[in-house]
């Protein structure tokens, strides 16, 4: 009778431990499956986020270059426009000497430039600069959106279930560590339960305590499965959301590519217009300088003309005097010798002296300016 009573609890305890062993094994298999799924999701998410981070880094560098180019272009255009307005003011207040323009009065240097073309170029430059600034702004908005996306997925904490071991570790790396740790804990429970079964076979005096300990191990393993299941549900939700986010990210990068092409076109146009406006500015600055030098040049030319006329008049007087003297000499020769010379002998002896003629004929194009 005592053997029967003793065998009853032992048999019951063995059955309880065997059932718990199967439950622990099943939970361990579930943990392995969930860990594999979670680590696959973690690896995929990490790869996607790293890809976005890498592309974002390139985009940020490109945006910084665009920022610098836009700033330089805006400053350069503002400077050229300011200097053009200043030179226009000088041209508008610089009256032209009527003697230089056939007596026309109230003319300024501004009347002699193509101001409409310059103002049209300025309007074109402002339009392209506006496009340049707008393209840069749109790219900045896209970069900020990508930053927000990366920060969101980097800042996930899985409802506080995934602690980070170090600030530089991503939540997805920490998730993999948590999964591995939970699986190892359940594996330790399995080993402990196996040891418990072996101990129970040799010592049946504490059957109830052993069953309680076994049940506690099953509960711990079930809690671990529940933890991984909850993590999987959250991770899967993030994974599905990331699938949709990938499309948004691709659309954002595609938009940035298109906007950057428009930016490049606008930048080339801005450089071309800035070069043209800068050339016009230098031309008008030289124009003012040339006009300032014009009176001195005209005075120099008048002095040259006066000196030349005087020299020509003096030379003409000398030539006339030389001709008169020559005529006297020829007349004296003829009076003394001509009657004795046959006509056929040196007929040229009767020729008149050479009479040179000096002509002063100023170019018609300089006539008006020379009136002064």
CATH classification for the domain delimited by 7-300, as one of 3.30.70, 1.20.930, 1.20.1260, 1.10.443: 1.20.1260
Of the chain, the percentage scoring pLDDT greater than 90 comes to: 42
pLDDT band for 3, please (50, 70, 90 cuts). very low
Per the prediction, the chain carries an average pLDDT of: 85
pLDDT band for 12, please (50, 70, 90 cuts). low
Alpha carbon 338 to its chain centroid, in Å, reads: 101
What would the mean pLDDT of 272-295 be, rounded to a whole number? 93
Q: Is the pLDDT of residue 307 over 80?
A: yes
Of the chain, the percentage scoring pLDDT greater than 70 comes to: 90
What would the mean pLDDT of 311-334 be, rounded to a whole number? 92
CATH 1.20.1260: which residues of the chain? 7-300
Q: For residue 108, what are the β-bridge partners?
A: 95
pLDDT band for 363, please (50, 70, 90 cuts). low
Instruction: Report the 10 Å Cβ neighbour count for 56.
Output: 21
Residues 6+ apart with CB under 8 A from 149: 52, 245, 248, 249
Question: Residue 88, class by beta-carbon neighbours within 10 Å (0-12 exposed, 13-18 middle, 19+ buried)?
Answer: middle
Mean pLDDT is lowest, of 4-18, 34-48, 188-202, 269-283, for 4-18
Among 25-29, 161-165, 258-262, top mean pLDDT goes to: 258-262
Judge whether 368 and 103 are in contact, CB under 8 Å. no
Q: Is the pLDDT of residue 265 over 90?
A: yes
**Looking at per-residue confidence, does 6 or 253 come out higher?**
253
Q: Is the pLDDT of residue 155 over 80?
A: no
Q: Is the pLDDT of residue 1 over 50?
A: no
Judge whether 107 and 304 are in contact, CB under 8 Å. no
Q: What are phi and psi of 343, to 5 degrees?
A: -65, -30
Mean pLDDT is lowest, of 141-150, 173-182, 244-253, for 173-182
Q: What is the pLDDT of residue 341?
A: 87
Q: Rounded to 5 degrees, what angle do the CA atoms 219, 224, 230 make?
A: 125
204-239 pLDDT per residue, tens? 557 777 788 888 888 988 999 999 999 899 889 888
Q: Is the pLDDT of residue 241 over 70?
A: yes
22-27, Cβ contacts within 8 angstroms, sequence gap of 24 or more: 23/218, 23/221, 23/222, 24/186, 24/189, 24/190, 24/193, 24/217, 24/218, 24/221, 25/190, 27/186, 27/218, 27/221, 27/222, 27/224, 27/225
Q: What is the pLDDT of residue 354?
A: 87
Q: Helix (H) and strand (E) counts for the chain?
A: 4, 0
DSSP structure class, residue 111: G
Q: What is the pLDDT of residue 169?
A: 65
Q: What is the pLDDT of residue 318?
A: 92
Q: For residue 95, what are the β-bridge partners?
A: 108
Q: Is the pLDDT of residue 291 over 50?
A: yes
Q: What is the pLDDT of residue 262?
A: 94
Q: Is the pLDDT of residue 5 over 50?
A: no
71-81 pLDDT per residue, tens? 999 999 999 99
The pTM score is 0.69
């Amino acid at each position: 009778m005592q053997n029967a009573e003793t065998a009853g609890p032992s048999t019951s305890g063995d059955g309880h431990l065997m059932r718990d062993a199967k439950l622990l094994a099943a939970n361990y298999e579930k943990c392995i499956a969930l860990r594999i799924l979670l680590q696959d999701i973690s690896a995929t998410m990490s790869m996607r986020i790293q890809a976005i981070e890498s592309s974002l880094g390139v985009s940020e560098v490109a945006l910084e270059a665009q920022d610098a180019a836009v700033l330089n272009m805006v400053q350069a255009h503002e400077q050229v426009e300011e200097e053009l307005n200043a030179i226009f003011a000088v041209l508008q207040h610089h009256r032209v000497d009527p003697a230089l323009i056939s007596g026309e009065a109230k003319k300024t240097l501004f009347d002699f430039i193509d101001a409409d073309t310059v103002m049209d170029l300025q309007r074109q430059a402002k339009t392209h600069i506006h496009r340049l600034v707008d393209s840069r702004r749109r790219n900045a908005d896209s970069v900020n959106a990508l930053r927000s996306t990366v920060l969101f997925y980097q800042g996930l904490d899985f409802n506080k279930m995934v602690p980070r071991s170090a600030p530089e570790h991503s939540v997805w790396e920490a998730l993999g560590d948590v999964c591995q740790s939970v699986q190892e804990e359940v594996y330790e429970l399995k080993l402990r339960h196996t040891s418990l079964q072996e101990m129970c076979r040799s010592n049946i005096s504490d059957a109830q305590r052993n069953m309680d300990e076994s049940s506690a191990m099953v509960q711990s393993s079930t809690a671990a499965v529940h933890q991984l299941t909850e993590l999987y549900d959250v991770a899967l939700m993030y994974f599905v959301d990331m699938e949709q986010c990938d499309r948004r990210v691709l659309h954002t990068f595609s938009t940035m590519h298109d906007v950057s092409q428009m930016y490049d076109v606008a930048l080339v146009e801005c450089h071309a217009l800035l070069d043209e406006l800068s050339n016009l500015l230098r031309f008008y600055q030289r124009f003012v300088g040339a006009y300032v030098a014009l009176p001195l040049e005209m005075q120099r030319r008048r002095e040259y003309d006066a000196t030349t006329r005087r020299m020509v008049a003096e030379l003409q007087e000398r030539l006339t005097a030389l001709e008169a003297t020559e005529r006297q000499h020829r007349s004296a020769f003829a009076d003394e010798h001509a009657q004795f010379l046959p006509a056929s002998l040196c007929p040229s002896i009767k020729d008149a002296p050479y009479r040179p003629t000096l002509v002063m004929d100023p170019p018609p194009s300089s006539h008006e300016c020379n009136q002064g």
